[in-house]
Chain A
Amino acid sequence: MSILYFFLYLLLVTIIGLLYMGAARKITAHIQNRYGPPVYQPILDVLKLFAKKDTASHGIMHSLGPVIAYTGIAATLLFLPLGNHTPLLHFNGDLFVVLYLLVVGPLGMALGAGESANSNATIGIARALSMMLGYEIIFFMATLPVFYHYGTASIYRVIQAQGAFPDWAAILFPISFIAGLFALQGLMGEKPFELVVAPHEIASGPMVEYGGKYLGLLQIWHAVGIIVETGLFVDIFFGPQSILWFFAGTFIVFFATVIVNAVMPRFRIEQAVRFYWGLPLLLSILGILQVYIWR
């Protein structure tokens, strides 16, 4: 029964994630003074990709790469509470499991793209793994004060420990919240940290040799990834919400990243990592100092 429940949950999150991608394209279009595609356009794209008749594969690992990536992000959903709704699994320390599972996606892509032996794919993967040195550290250090303050490493318990509006972690730890927003922009791979994909520069990086069904799988991986990443952020910083308010919160956070994405150029890889080790790192250290002094 819980397996059926999980698949329904996965389907729901996939469709909502695809609609978020459509909304992002619509918002970007309006910023650029055009109409843009309909909001359901990414769903049509995915259906079209799965309707492709033949798809070139460069070997077993190349075919399995997108599957590993999608499985990794789907497994993260097991631990992700949608607001005050209980997740399928929760225990003390599941935050670390989620942080590890978030790496499975880029790793699956690295394994798959590596077998295609395309130099653009290799550059994209190298950039993706170097970028992690930037945003992963900041993201972890920004969420650390919250978990330290509530004395648990379970996402579910952290949510339950927070109260209604004035008791949010975002209000208690504003400095960490801002550092977390910086990390989220890199985690989502939006501009100015879009250098993994960079279509004009390295021809969409790791995806360069993927087409048809594999690309469709990578699209829905990205869609679920949007919900997981913004959802984790909303869960940790905005406390218990009803499911509708949870999705409203994720959409607001996503909206902020899309607006930054629409008006920003792209960093080079060393600029991006250096940026993360500057102001965001300082902010996250200040956040940790705050919780240390407070206790």
Chain B
Amino acid sequence: MKLFKFAQSRSLWMMHFCTGCGAVELPPTMTSRFDMERFGIIPMATPRQSDLLLITGYLTVKTLKRVVRAYEQMPTPRYVIGFGSCTINGGMYWDSYNVIKKLELYIPVDLYINGCMPRPEAIIDAFLKLREMIDKGEANAWKKYIENYEWYKKNQAEVFDVEKWSLKK
């Protein structure tokens, strides 16, 4: 079982949900300059294959629906990294009418990287921190989603137009 834990922390397949500006900082992290593949982290194509969801930047209500759906498709154990100020408190969109301010209310987050935008060094640092957390058994946010499922669904339903999207069915 120790071997499985070792494998889980050393092999993270990532799906980056690039909603906007974050897409600029990730290519240098993946390619020759910063090379995140040396830590066993590679981008994957679909949520079913990935362990790590990277939310880069602001989320509108419309994209949040897609994020929740992608998150629920990922097999457990799954990890979420909130990337940039927008996922923490809304960032520069703090007074926007259709951007969510706190990602934590809708899906559980293991780790935040602050900054607008964070540099690739900060992203690599966050990946190493997540690896450390998995080794110690601290990256358990996915359990929170299962235990408090009703609460998360209630928060999601508050921002979605329930009548229009018929989420209650």
Contacts and interface: CB of A to CB of B under 8 A. Distances in A.
Interface of A: 25, 29, 32-38, 41, 43-45, 47-48, 50-56, 199-200, 203-204, 207-212, 215
A43 B3 CA distance: 11
B48 A208 contact: yes
B27 interface: no
A53 B76 CA distance: 6
Contacts of B10: 41, 44, 48
Interface footprint category on B: 20 to 34
Interface of B: 3-4, 6-8, 10-11, 13, 31-32, 35, 37-40, 44-46, 48-49, 51, 73-77
A56 B49 contact: no
Contact of A207 (B7, B31, B49): B49
Given A48-B11, A52-B75, A56-B75, A210 B37 contact: no
Contact of A54 (B7, B39, B76): B76
Contacts of B49: 204, 207, 210-211, 215
Given A48-B51, A208-B45, A34 B32 contact: yes
A35 B39 CA distance: 10
B45 A47 contact: no
A53 B77 CA distance: 7
Interface centre among B35, B39, B46 (most CB of A within 10 A): B46
Contacts of B4: 47-48, 50-51
B11 A45 contact: yes
A256 to B, nearest CB: 22
18 contacts: A37-B38, A37-B39, A44-B10, A44-B40, A45-B11, A47-B4, A48-B51, A50-B4, A51-B4, A52-B75, A54-B76, A55-B75, A56-B48, A204-B44, A207-B49, A208-B45, A211-B48, A211-B74
